[in-house]
Amino acid sequence: DAGVIQSPRHEVTEMGQEVTLRCKPISGHNSLFWYRQTMMRGLELLIYFNNNVPIDDSGMPEDRFSAKMPNASFSTLKIQPSEPRDSAVYFCASSLKGVRTDTQYFGPGTRLTVL
């Protein structure tokens, strides 16, 4: 089975540009999560979707960040305009809510560098 798919794997952009990160969750999973990982702040939850509906977006840093999940097999995280402090690895994860462990399966991540 294919795992969580993310694209691009690496993104280098200049400050002020729009960045769009993409995620395809595992088929059949009903929960999707976007995380950001940096050395300073660790692994932070940005937003959580259940059945394509945003449930908790309290981790979204500011209005420059937005996330959508138009259907069960696709989600995007957009940063507009990007800033150097947004440089991080962004992970998408999916899970099947209701299973005992709610194990989250992470994608390979997108390493974002904003110059």
Q: 3-state class of 47 per DSSP?
A: strand
Least distance to other proteins from the beta carbon of 33, Å? 7
Q: 67: which 2 tokens?
A: 């996330």
Select the residue interacting with other proteins from 90, 91, 112, 114 (CB under 8 A).
Answer: 91
Select the residue interacting with other proteins from 10, 55, 80, 115 (CB under 8 A).
Answer: 55
- Please give the sequence-ordered ranges of beta strands (E in DSSP) within the chain, or none if there are none: 5-7, 10-13, 19-24, 31-38, 42-50, 53-56, 65-71, 74-79, 88-95, 105-106, 110-114
CA distance 92 to 74: 11
Least distance to other proteins from the beta carbon of 43, Å? 4
33 lines the binding site for other proteins (CB under 8 A)? yes
Least distance to other proteins from the beta carbon of 69, Å? 15
73 lines the binding site for other proteins (CB under 8 A)? no
Nearest CA to 21 out of 80, 79, 62 is that of 79
In the complex, which residues of this chain contact other proteins (CB under 8 A)?
Answer: 31, 33, 42-43, 45, 48, 50, 55-56, 91, 93, 95, 97, 100-109
